[in-house]
Structure 1
Amino acid sequence: MEFAICLPFLLLVTLWCVELANFILVRQQISQLALQVADNASRIGTQNNVQTQIDERQINDLFTGANLQSGSLDISRHGRIILSSLEVQPDPPKGQYIHWQRCFGTLSYASTYGVTGDGEGNSSFKGMGPTGSKVTALPGVPAMFVEIAYTYQPIISHYIAPKEPIQEIATVLVRDNRDTSGPGVNPVSGVTASQCQTSA
């Protein structure tokens, strides 16, 4: 009798623990994906004499690779990747600014830490990231700042799954002498840039 009374409660707790464990695993995968995207973004480019240039096709390929790496998470349908190039302004006041930003995924999510042009022409923009631990670029060395937002897909039920979206960030400094002149990302004929709209 006691077991029959306790069984529904024990079953619910067991299912909740399974769902929570899966949520933690997915969050770790998203964190690793953010770091991988930032690292790959710091390496892409085509060598041109002494500087490396990047273009829209390379950015799109980067996102395609990220979607493949996400596997069953299907980041293109359930998530949003925001890639920002945080740089030091070439002209005074030489503060931090977001030179360009590209996005991937259909989730409606706007950057928490800034948009293209933030900081340009002033010194009030102190970098990207949470208050107290902001990331900053170095003169001539952009920082690739990645934000990923993901809507968790439960394996059992939405009713027992955590409701908040998963949000992870990562950053890596560019590893070569990157050409940041002009728009920063060169256009390519026939290639659509992965511009950042807040909804797909």
Structure 2
Amino acid sequence: MMGITRRLWRDRQAAAAIEFAFMLPLVMYLGGAGIEFANYGLSQMRVSQVAMTLADNASRVGLASTLATTQIRETDINDIFSGVRLQSSGIKLSTYGRVTLSSLEYVPQTYDVVPVQRIHWQRCLGKRSGTGYDSSYGTTTTTAGTTATLANAGTVSAGMGDSSPQVSAPLGYGVMFVEINYDYQALFGTLYVKPMLIHYVASYVVRDTRDYSMIYNPAPTVTASTCNLYTV
């Protein structure tokens, strides 16, 4: 009996395979963690890039008129939202998130006695809804900005974004403010991370001399991406 025990103790055959078998679960767990956290970082970068690109595009888009001002139209907004869908298709942002585009303006309108800073209008994209997904910094009605009247003037606002500091529009100008809330889609469920929300904002001052009176929707009219719609 003692002889058999000594032979087994001295036997080194397949030692590496046995050690690998013991270490394999730990190696796989740590490897999966690395993949998960790398994917999370990549998702954050993609959401931030979408926010910046949308704010930049919204600050440039529009139709130049004979009055040397640029009209922004519903079709222009729908076009830049189409760009968002293409840019974020890899993370399915419109399926698992919510994008809110706000026009924060500090522009005297015909019905103003003094200049008023307001969220003049908002347009949205994405299926997610409710607290945590809809705009955290102020909302407007679905008709806000669709006519150049006080009834559709939007919502008075001191600014948008986090309190330190908030984004505000310069006098006579508008700011395109983008807020994105996205449910991170984990690769391994809840094994490494709990369900979490990726949140990013971005803003750009409007680049051209824009007509801030309203959003135009000339014939043939298009369906506006108003924030009561929750679509991909």
TM category (shorter chain) comes to: 0.7 to 0.9
Distance (Å, rounded) in 2 between the aligned partners of 1:167 and 1:95: 28
Matched residue type, 1:53: Q
Q: 1:172 to 1:69 in 2, by over 3 A?
A: same
Gaps of 5+ in 1: 120-124
SS of structure 1 residue aligned to 2:58: helix
Q: Does 1:166 align with 2:170?
A: no
SS of structure 1 residue aligned to 2:155: coil
Shift of 1:71: 2.9
Shift of 1:198: 7.4
Shift of 1:66: 1.0
Match of 1:114 in 2: 138
Match of 1:24 in 2: 41
Shift of 1:187: 2.2
Shift of 1:152: 1.4
TM normalised by structure 2 equals 0.76
Q: Does 1:187 align with 2:220?
A: no
SS of structure 1 residue aligned to 2:138: coil
Shift of 1:7: 4.2
Distance (Å, rounded) in 1 between the aligned partners of 2:165 and 2:86: 31
Shift of 1:15: 1.1
SS of structure 2 residue aligned to 1:71: coil
Shift of 1:197: 2.3
How many percent identity over aligned positions? 43
Match of 1:13 in 2: 30
Match of 2:120 in 1: 99
Superposition CA RMSD, Å:
2.0
Match of 1:46 in 2: 63
Match of 2:148 in 1: none
Shift of 1:48: 0.7
Match of 1:73 in 2: 91
Maintained 8 Å contact 2:57/2:80:
yes
Match of 1:122 in 2: none
Maintained 8 Å contact 2:178/2:202:
yes
Q: Does 1:127 align with 2:159?
A: yes
Moved more, 43-52 or 4-13: 4-13
Question: Which structure is larger by alpha-carbon Rg, 1 or 2?
Answer: 2
136, 142, 145: which one aligns with 2:168: 136
Shift of 1:74: 2.0
Distance (Å, rounded) in 1 between the aligned partners of 2:195 and 2:41: 13
SS of structure 2 residue aligned to 1:196: coil
**Residues 37-85 of structure 1 deviation map (CA, whole Å, 9 limit, x = unaligned):** 0000000000012100011111101100111111311222122110000
TM normalised by structure 1 equals 0.87
93, 100, 114: which one aligns with 1:82: 100
SS of structure 1 residue aligned to 2:88: helix
Shift of 1:10: 4.0
Maintained 8 Å contact 1:46/1:52:
yes
Maintained 8 Å contact 1:20/1:162:
no
- Aligned length, in residue pairs: 193
Shift of 1:162: 4.3
Distance (Å, rounded) in 1 between the aligned partners of 2:24 and 2:115: 65
Maintained 8 Å contact 1:140/1:177:
no
Moved more, 40-49 or 149-158: 149-158
Gaps of 5+ in 2: 1-17, 141-153
Distance (Å, rounded) in 2 between the aligned partners of 1:6 and 1:129: 48
Q: 1:118 to 1:5 in 2, by over 3 A?
A: farther
Maintained 8 Å contact 2:47/2:180:
yes
